[in-house]
Amino acid sequence: MTAVHGRFTRSQTLIQNGGEIDCVDKDGNTPLHVAARYGHELLINTLITSGADTAKCGIHSMFPLHLAALNAHSDCCRKLLSSGFEIDTPDKFGRTCLHAAAAGGNVECIKLLQSSGADFHKKDKCGRTPLHYAAANCHFHCIETLVTTGANVNETDDWGRTALHYAAASDMDRNKTMLGNAHENSEELERARELKEKEAALCLEFLLQNDANPSIRDKEGYNSVHYAAAYGHRQCLELLLERTNNSFEDSDSGATKSPLHLAAYNGHHQALEVLLQSLVDLDIRDEKGRTALDLAAFKGHTECVEALINQGASIFVKDNVTKRTPLHASVINGHTLCLRLLLEIADNPEAIDVKDAKGQTPLMLAVAYGHIDAVSLLLEKEANVDAVDLMGCTALHRG
């Protein structure tokens, strides 16, 4: 407790009376770890002078220097470095103090560590450099510092991801939590999201201006456009599409899903609308033959379904496996609003009573899954109650 609150005199008294200098708490932290985390420089000096082990691992296998760097305590970093701790010592995950500083977002710590000889080329056990960490956390000034001092913007990790991938994929929901959960106020949450979105776009733009290659694909064939689409970053998408001449429909990429599929599946309608402005084929298929409309209907993303329909996406395309259409997809999970949108453009009975590989109509599936609202809507639209599947069963057999 004295380390947490930085009680210098009381800590000295405990040490002088035989207190164990490197005792650990339930997380494996020594008093030195705790003092480093909370920025208590005087206490750090006392602990080191009294023989505290600066190379002892604590929470998440981190050293005291890592914790000081992560929490932006540059004076504590300076004190720990003066004790003789080897600056590039990695934790069990391969992370150095520079990785920690980049994740924490403190430029002063990064500059101090670099001037003290920290190697920004060092990779963790997943092949990630400090630049990857800074990009993943949208720390613009850290990215700027690392790049201007020579960090390779196109360095890939073990999954083939560059800093551009990480900037495009920065997690808005996690970053909103870091902003204090915005007290569960929807307006504050939206403002927090917009703030982090702008920061992500700023980071991505800087990387692009410094020769980051948006065409580099990870080991699954996904480039930064895919990542921005999957995480719904509209501004990042606009920047990337401008750099790639709006070309992201590459059948030879090896990716199983297009950016359009990823945006639709995850319900990012604003990102979807950006992609739709550049897309030629609205009915592009994934590895199972599903269209973006199929995925949006299956997940119940009404705004995405509406955007795709308004641009002319087909409701008649069947996947390669189950031979189901977006109508089937919407009723499986009982997404009645999506179903209603689809039925509004289903201007003939054949569309409403379309059958899958087993001969099942949307009405049959709605009954089988117990979605009463969907059943009512289909009956209102005059779905055929007497249609039979390959086994000769009607919707009534499933009730």
Residue with tokens 């980049």: 102
Give the closest residue to 225 by CA, choosing from 175, 268, 177, 179: 268
Q: What's the rounded mean pLDDT across residues 330-340?
A: 98
Q: What is the CA radius of gyration of the chain?
A: 28
Q: CB-based burial of residue 279 (10 Å sphere; 0-12 exposed, 13-18 middle, 19+ buried)?
A: buried
Q: What is the pLDDT of residues 108-127, one digit of tens each?
A: 999 999 999 999 999 999 99
* Cα 109 to Cα 150: distance, rounded to the nearest angstrom: 17
The confidence score (pLDDT) of residue 244 equals 81
Candidate from 177-186, 251-260, 325-334 with smallest mean pLDDT: 177-186
Q: What's the rounded mean pLDDT across residues 343-348?
A: 83
Phi/psi for 159 (5° steps) reads: -95, 0
**DSSP line for 270-332:** HHHHHHHTT-S-TT---TTS--HHHHHHHHT-HHHHHHHHHTT--S-PPPSSS---HHHHHHH
**More confident: 254 or 81:** 81
In angstroms, how far is CA 255 from the centroid of its own chain? 18
pTM above 0.95, yes or no: no
- Distance (Å) of CA 367 to CA 28, 324, 357, 375: 56, 16, 18, 6
**DSSP line for 100-112:** HHHHHT-HHHHHH
In angstroms, how far is CA 239 from the centroid of its own chain? 18
Query: Which structural domains are found in the chain, ordered by start?
Result: 1-119 (1.25.40.20), 123-140+148-178+186-247 (1.25.40.20), 281-399 (1.25.40.20)
Q: What's the rounded mean pLDDT across residues 235-241?
A: 95
pLDDT band for position 355 (cuts 50, 70, 90): very high
What's the distance, Cα to Cα, between the start and end of the chain in Å?
A: 64
The Cβ-side half-sphere exposure at 55, using a 13 Å CA radius, reads 8
CB 142 within 8 A of CB 154: no
* Cα 119 to Cα 161: distance, rounded to the nearest angstrom: 20
* Cα 370 to Cα 379: distance, rounded to the nearest angstrom: 14
The confidence score (pLDDT) of residue 246 equals 61
The Cβ-side half-sphere exposure at 100, using a 13 Å CA radius, reads 31
CB 163 within 8 A of CB 192: no
pLDDT at 183 over 50: no
pLDDT at 86 over 90: yes
Residue with tokens 């560590």: 113
* Cα 325 to Cα 280: distance, rounded to the nearest angstrom: 21
134: DSSP letter? H
Phi/psi for 185 (5° steps) reads: -90, 125
* Cα 294 to Cα 305: distance, rounded to the nearest angstrom: 9
The confidence score (pLDDT) of residue 156 equals 98
pLDDT band for position 200 (cuts 50, 70, 90): very high
Q: What's the rounded mean pLDDT across residues 3-10?
A: 46
* Cα 366 to Cα 373: distance, rounded to the nearest angstrom: 9
Give the closest residue to 152 by CA, choosing from 141, 160, 163, 137: 163
